[in-house]
Structure formats: C-alpha cells, structure tokens
Structure 1
Amino acid sequence: MELHLVIEGTRGLAEQIHRQLRDAIRSGRLAAGQQLPPSRLLAEQLGVSRKTVAQAYSKLTFDRLIVTQVGAGTFVASRLPPQSHPLAQEDLAGSAVTRLWQGMETPLRHPLPEARVRYEFIAGASSRRLFPEAEWRQCSLHGLRRSALHRGYYAEPEGLLELREAVSRHIGFSRGVNCRPEDLVITSGAQQALDLIARVLIEPGCIVAMEEPGYPLARMLLEAQGAQVVPVPVDAEGICVDRIPDGARLIYTTPTHQFPLGMPMSAARRHALLDRAHELGAIVVEDDYDSEFRYTTQAFEPLLTLDRRGLVAYIGTFSKSLSPELRLGYAIAPPALRTALVNAKHLCDWHTPTVLQWALARFVADGNLLKHIRRCHDVFSERRNRLLARLSGDLSPWLEPLPAIAGYHMAVRFRRPVPVLQLCQLARRVEVGLYLLNACYRHPPQDDGLLVGFGAIEAEDIDPALDRVRGILEQLSG
C-alpha cells in the first residue's frame, strides 16, 4: 500500500513521519489492524533513510499505536490507547489558586532584549560593559576545577564554607556588618532569602508590616505565602514606627536606601524600630540591597549591628554589585531562625549551584569584588551627577528628584500635573524607557512619579535621552 505522507525540508524527518502516521491512525484513515508498509519500502517511497522510518515506527510503538508481529509485519493496534485531553483551567480542583497566579502582575520585570529601547532608565539593571569578564572567567574555571573534586554529592544547604567566609569578610569591610560564617545562608538571590524567612515564620492570615511605598516583589511574595500585608507609611526618617500594627509577626524594611524613595532611616528611628519589634516579638527583615554604592560620607549602622536581642534577619545580594543573572545572595539569620532557615533551604532547592559558589568565593577572596565596586561607583557617580544636573536645571519646571545617598536609582516627583501614562508611551516611541513609581505602592497616590535607574544607561546617553523627555513634557504642557 502507499501512504499519503508529505515530507518538507530536510529537518525532523522522523518526527514528520511519526506525526502524520499518528494523525492518520487517530483520525481513522488507518484502521485498526491495518498493515503498514515495511520500513525499507516506505523509506524508498519517501526518499529517506530506512533508519528514519524505523525511528518513527519505534516512537509509534512506544505510543502503543502500532504493533510488530515477528514474521508478519507491522500493524495498527487493534485497541488504541485513549487520547488524553488536557484539563481546562475550570476543571482543575485548584482553579481558584491558579487564576490568582495567572492574574498576578509582574512589576519591575526587565524587558526582553527585543523589547528594550536605546535609552533605558530601568532600575536594578547595570551596563553589560561593566561586568568584569576576564576576572570572572578565571574564577569560573577555578569553580569548575573545585567542583570536579566533589562531583556526585549534594553540597551543604547553607552554602560552601569558603564562600561564607569570603562573604562575612566582605560585608564586614564594605557594609559594617559583623557576622560569622556559620550565621550565613547562601541563597539564589535576595528574593529567595526573603522567601525562606517567610516560609519559616508566616502562616495564612498572619500580619506582616511593610513600608509604603516598598519593594513590590517582596509584598507579593509575602502575600503569596498567605500573609496579611499591612502597608506602613514612610517619612523623611524612614518607616513610621508608631504605625506598625499590633500583632505583626514580621517587619520588612530597607533602612539604608529606602526602596523606592531613597532616604536612609535615621538613627533614632532605627532604635525605635528595634524596640517596637521586641515589644511585638517580631522579626525585622533588613534588606540591604545596594548600600555599597554610597555617595556621601554619611553612614548609618545597620540594624543588625544595633540588634542585641536577635530580632534582625539581614539579607543581601550580589545582583546589584556584580550581576543579577548570577542569582547569588545571602541571609544572616538570627539564632532563633538559623536551623529552620537551613532546613527550608534544603527542602526548597537543596543548595545554590556550587560552581557559582566556588567562583564567587575566589572572586571575593582575590579582591576582585572590591575593585569592581570601586570602578562601578565612579561610573554610577558620574551618571548620577549628570542626571541631577538636568533635573535641577532645564527639567526642574516639571521634575523634582528625591534625595538618595546610595544605589543607582532615584525617585522623581512631578512638580505639576502630567499625564504619566501618556508620557511613558510617548517616550518609548522615541527610544526612551521611563518607569512609574506607582508599581511600588499598595495604594498608588494621585501625584505619581518616576523610578529612574541610571545603572543601565551610559553617561553620554543621559543628555540625549533627557532632551527627548523634555520635548515630550513641553508638548504635554501645551
């Protein structure tokens, strides 16, 4: 017999034959018990190798659509397996939960390469050219060599001792944090560190206090764990401690560089926060995501250093200081949480990839991280100064920067009413990426602003980009 099969191109030939025979059997064009041509004959008819047809037949046999009878040939199975139809969402027992996750917004997500514009003012991203390729390559090779000595076994959940020792020395010097290697848990970014802390503290319905505005991914993560997240306003000194609700089990804060507004928490407010946490029996999560890039001599002691009662869980990341793609972070757990946090890490993903851990340990120990931070600091400082000069100059009729002493983003308020969505849409048409502050609020205010990152845009591109923004603002002002 001859089968009507169509071969297109020279790729995936076995898959093409398998798919067309499968559809013919399922549709009834090839009836149950009907004999198929020998593989050699079908190969000659289609102009392909016999091996290609044999692969297609083998897959059909695995699918239980055909059977081979020794000495007789290959036949369509007399009893076909039932076709599987994926359940529709409404048929799932957990459809209500699935709908919540499907409808969840994803603020601050970085655009895909094809969607990026020429001038990106997105927060949390840094220039590709700043990454220390040569040094990291050497450290990665070291990581591969060290990993080969331990291959075949899982590593310790809390992270490699060599990396924990290197991190404890680094943050002691650069951030003024005093900790021992045994206090550290290496995580896949600060986001996982927060996730682990939430796992061991939060039950559905429990109260969590969080800065308003604040880091939206932290709020969404805590809510996904079942917490009742209560937004607590911030002022010029940081989180308003007297507004932290009774019954709060966890307090999330960014004291060194408030996200997204930028102000540091005052010393008095830090002590008041620790006293309030002690009164509640709450854990304070201190998210110190980018304090290594400071632009003033003003310095504040980390909450962790002030803590004498074991109330502070300190989390940090290498996403800002090195690269977000590495997904490397850490948590310093208070004594009451340490064992629980390690167990949660073990159950979550066992451990962070060891090759990356070995590489980062060598990178930090060799002094490359501090050199890289100093180099980036000079670059970011130049960009920040250029941005502030324009915001206090010809853009000042419309825009007002909020003071920020660290990091590589700043918040900008509008001095006069501006249709912000239209501004962002028009800016994107002229290759400028602008991003709104309202994503950082649980209850967005009427007077919206911009979250302006200057890590990803080159210094020489800031003026041309802001010239285009000024032109749009003039146009919108009419």
Structure 2
Amino acid sequence: MSRRLRGELLALPAGTPQSGPLHRQVYAHIRAAILSGRFAPGTRLPATRTLAAELGVARNTVLTAFEQLAAEGYLQARVGSGTFVAGELPGPLGATARVDAAVPAPAALSQRGARLLALRPPLGGTPARAFAVGVPATDAFPLALWQRLLAARGRERGLLDYAAAQGHAPLRIAIARHLTAARGVVCAPEQVIVLAATQQGLDLIARVLADSGDVAWLEEPGYRSVCQAWRGQGLRVEPVAVDAEGLNWQAATHPPPRLIYVTPSHQFPSGVVMSLPRRLALLERAVQDGAWIVEDDYDSEFRYAGRPLAALQGLDGGQRVLYLGTFAKSLFPGLRLAWLVVPPALVEAFVVARRLLDYHSPPLLQAVTADFIDQGHFAAHIRRMRGLYAERQAALLEAARRELAGAIELTPADTGLHLLGRLQHGRARHLSARAAVAGIALQALDEFHIGPCRREGLLFGYAATPPEAMHSAVQQLAALID
C-alpha cells in the first residue's frame, strides 16, 4: 500500500551533498532516501509544486530532479495518480555511501566481471508504458486458448523432468517448418537450437565463435544490447553506418571482422530494409574475411504491405549466416523462448555450450508453444496482430499529425512495431527524460549510437498502446514540447 509523503525530504540523509546546483542536491537527496529504504518501492512522492514549496526552491528545480530520477529508473509517473518510487529499482538497496562501498572493487572481479559491471545495462522489469519499444499487444493475446493448451500439457509428467539442451524436438520441427515457409530460411530441425532469449543467442555466438579482442561490426545506429553483450565478452565492437540500403560496410575503415550483426529485413531502429545487391555483397565479404553474419529477424513477421521479405540466411543456404528469432514479439515477452539456426557444422559446439550455460528451456512451455504452432493458432494470431498493429500505427500517425505538427515528423512504415520520429527543433534526450516523468516511454535516437549522433529523433513503439491511450499520450507529449 503506497503512502503520501509530506515534509520528509527536509530530513536529509547523512552524507548527501549540501552544495552544487539545487536540482542536483534534490536529486541526490531523493535518490539517497530511496536507496536507504526510507522511501520504499511504491511510495508516492508529493506533487512537484508542493515539494518545491516545502524545500523553498523553484518548481523547475524539482521537475529537473524528477526527470533525472525517472530517466535512471528510480521514479515512475502514473497518469492521473502522481509520481511513485519504482517497484524495481536500478541498483541494490542501502544508504548511498554504503551502496557504493558494497559494490565489489574491480580488483575483486575477473576481467570479464569488471567489464560486465562497467556496462550497467538497464535492469528492466518495469511495466510497459505508452510508446514502449519492442513490446507487443499482450492485451490482444488469446490467453484463454493458451490456458487450455497449457492445462492439457500440464498433465504430462514427462514434461516435469530435465530435457534436451537443443530444445523440445516437436518445437524445433515446428520452428523449422514455419521459417522455411514464411521467411525463406534454409534449415532442418537439427539446425534449430531453442533458447531463452535473443540475448542468450548473442552471448552464445560470442562464446563459441569469437575470442577476446576479435572485431565485431555493429549497425550504427543499432541494437545497443548487442554492443553490451559482445563488449562484455571482450570483443572489439566497431560501429558501421547504416544508409538507405542498410549496413554500408563498403565505407567502413575498421579491421576485418569476426562477427557482423545485421537486422536486414527491418533495421533497428531506423526501419531501413537492406537491398538485394547489398545483401549479396555482404555475403561475399563475409566469405572473404572468414566472418560470421548474425541476422536478427526480430519483428519481420509484422509486415503490412505484401508478404514478409525473405531472410538473408536463405540467400547462401545458411553457410555463413546464423539466424536469430524470438517469440517475445510474436507471442509475449514473458514466454522467454527464442531460437538460433546455425550451419550444420556448428550445431554440436552450440548445443554443448548451451547445456553448460543453463541446460535447457522449460519443457512444458516449449511443448505448449509447439502445439500453438502445429494447431494453426500461431499463423492466425500473426494475421490478427498484423491488422491490429496496422490500425495502431495509423492511430499514432493521425494523433501526431494533429498534435505534433511542426515539432515531430513521423513517417509510416510497412514493417515492425515502432516508428522513428524526427525532431524539427529541440533535444531528443531532454524531451525523453521529461516524457518519462509523465509516464511516456520515448527513447532518443542517440541512445542507439556508439559514436556521435547527428540527428535528433525519438522512437515511438505503438504495438502495446491502444488508440485511446495513444491519443492521450500524444497530447501530453505536445504539452511538454509547448
């Protein structure tokens, strides 16, 4: 049960700063109170105007502190309810001074452990908010149907035991059949490895195919979790610019790569589709350099004009391409099931590595997912979601046309679950932080760059936001811009 605070922030925790800009002092005091446990998860903070009066500072000072705390994951705004301490905090609990001292010194960690600690990726676990990127419409998932399938399989005692590291055989067969028909992937069930997530696949690929110090090429802008995963394994990640045809590797001046990460069917986050000449040339370059191409086909099931584009993997029969996919977007993120298709010669090494890391994915959920596909529910669900997402994209574009004209330009897309908005004026990172306080999840384009970003943009995920909530969120965003 949440409680309302009044005046408690005036009792400042010991060790918090008493000098510096006022907004940094307010930020540090609130953060210290959260980390010490005085402000428990779910605690409601006073309104910014009330708090400013209590502290004797300008309201903008408190707003700036709240924006920073929300951007770092300490606070969450709930529309119509106020601002609360986040339920899932981004760091360990304890007073600030003690928290910093409790973190192991780099010398106490392995080199890999120190690298992982330095990366500090977002911990996640927070509820989806308006425009969250990469989140599907779980409100439209056929939950009653899923529960019936789950209940039927739940009576099988064999699914309570340990299982094969490569994955449940019927699920691998169903995945291979679907990828061959829908995505043009060339594979047999024996090449499919069932994983917990795409992120696990990226980690496995680095462990099995690359050594510390090897060069990996990553799209710029690109999926930042790839950079974090591979840098955590000691790889030298080099950004390669994306142009209108996709990864522009011809312009790269980096050393020859061991790994090349691409999202050719719907480049993340720009939305560019890699051209056929660029795909063929990239495959040839990979052969010349002895490199492996990692194709992440994260959301290409959702194409709203024509059939989904064929995968890059099918162009060379999967000889130099490792193909990643996930059910997180097509079904729901909590399922924690994904897949990796590898060339036949690499299967044994990957299966052994998977077994050593975490043995296998849950057999019961694998069996239910296989039934969902085999009985035709998966194909029907994808068809329904294509129509739903097309409607939600149209609702976002219409709301943006009415409320954001002259400030943010959104362009329609034939594929995917998000749109990239170009800012006509202003700073995207600043607007993103202000939107977070209002309960709106917008990621700035520069967050997906390793090097400098010369364009101001924001990512709008629309799949999980119903039209009525979308219109309200766009109006809030327009008010923030004003």
TM tier relative to shorter chain: 0.7 to 0.9
- Name stretches of at least 5 consecutive residues in structure 1 with no aligned partner: 1-85
SS state at 1:336 partner: helix
Provide the rounded CA distance (Å) in 2 between the counterparts of 1:400 and 1:182.
46
Which of the residues 467, 473, 479 maps onto 1:465?
A: 473
- Tell me how far apart the structure 1 counterparts of residues 390 and 347 of structure 2 sit (CA, whole Å): 37
Superposition pairs for residues 292-311 of structure 1, below 5 Å?
Answer: 292-297=301-306, 299-308=308-317, 310-311=319-320
Q: Distance in 2 between matches of 1:419 and 1:439?
A: 13
- How big is each residue's C-alpha offset from its partner over 1:329-385, in whole Å with a ceiling of 9 and x where there is no partner? 001101232211111111111111111111111111111111111111111110111
Task: Sort the Cα spacing of 1:429 and 1:91 in 2 relative to 1 into closer, same or farther, 3 A.
Answer: closer
Q: Which moved more, 1:286-295 or 1:434-443?
A: 434-443
Question: In structure 2, the residue corresponding to 1:185 is in which secondary structure?
Answer: strand
- 2:136 touches 2:330 (CA, 8 Å); kept in 1? no
What's 2:150 paired with?
Answer: 140
Aligned counterpart, 1:202? 210
Does the aligned pair in 2 maintain the 1:89–1:95 contact within 8 Å?
no
Counterpart of 2:458 in structure 1 is 450
Equivalent residue for 2:109? Answer: 94
**Where do residues 289-438 of structure 1 align in structure 2 (5 Å cutoff)?**
289-297=298-306, 299-308=308-317, 310-392=319-401, 394-402=403-411, 404-416=413-425, 418-438=426-446
Aligned equivalents of 1:88, 1:384: Cα separation in 2: 44
| Equivalent position to 1:105, from 110, 113, 120 | 120
**In structure 2, C-alpha distance between the alignment counterparts of 1:385 and 1:189, rounded to whole Å:** 30
Deviation at 1:175, TM superposition (A): 2.1
- Distance in structure 1 (CA, Å) of the matches to 2:219 and 2:240: 5
Gaps of 5+ in 2: 1-100
The residue identity in structure 2 corresponding to 1:316 is G
Label 1:391 to 1:276 Cα distance change in 2 as closer, same or farther (>3 A).
farther
Amino acid at match of 2:271: G
SS of the equivalent of 2:443 reads coil
**Residue 299 to residue 241, structure 1, CA distance change in 2 (3 Å):** farther
Q: Is the 8 A contact 2:106 2:114 kept in 1?
A: no
The aligned counterpart of 1:238 is 246
User: Rg: which structure is higher?
Assistant: 1
Q: Which residue of 2 aligns with 1:179?
A: 187
CA contact (8 A) 2:217 2:259 kept: yes
CA deviation map 1:60-118 (0-9, x unaligned): xxxxxxxxxxxxxxxxxxxxxxxxxx9872396327655543342325x64624xx65x
Give the TM-score normalised by structure 1: 0.75
**Aligned ranges 1:3-18 → 2 under 5 Å:** none
Q: What is the deviation of 1:405?
A: 2.4
- CA distance in 1 between counterparts of 2:106 and 2:201 reads 35
Contact persistence 1:188–1:328 (CA under 8 A): yes
Residue 264 of structure 1 corresponds to 273
Determine if contact 2:112/2:234 at 8 Å carries over to the other structure: no
Question: 266, 275, 280: which is aligned to 2:284?
Answer: 275
Q: Kindly state the Cα deviation for residue 158 of structure 1 after the two structures are TM-superposed.
A: 0.9
Q: Which residue of 2 aligns with 1:211?
A: 219
Alignment check: 8 A CA contact 1:211 1:239 kept: yes
User: What is the SS of the residue equivalent to 1:319?
Assistant: helix
Distance in 1, matches of 2:107 and 2:192, equals: 41
Aligned pair partner of 1:122 in 132, 136, 145:
132
Provide the rounded CA distance (Å) in 2 between the counterparts of 1:398 and 1:123. 21
Q: Which amino acid aligns with 1:195?
A: D
The 3-state SS of whatever aligns with 2:238 is: strand
Cα deviation digits, residues 220-267 of structure 1 (max 9, x gap): 101111110110000011000213544211100000010111111111
The answer to whether the 8 Å contact 2:266/2:416 transfers is: yes
1: distance between equivalents of 2:103 and 2:200?
A: 31
The one of 226, 229, 233 aligned to 1:221: 229
Residues 259 and 294 in structure 2, CA contact (< 8 A), matched pair in contact too: yes
SS, match of residue 330 in structure 2: coil
CA distance in 2, matches of 1:105, 1:390: 36
Change (3 A) 1:228 1:348: same
In structure 1, the residue matched to 2:91 is: none
Q: Secondary structure at the match of 2:272?
A: coil
- Give the AA of the match of 1:141: A
What is the CA distance between 1:309 and its match in structure 2? 6.8
- What's the TM-score, normalizing by structure 2? 0.74
More displaced stretch, 352-361 vs 237-246:
237-246
| Cα root mean square deviation, aligned | 2.3
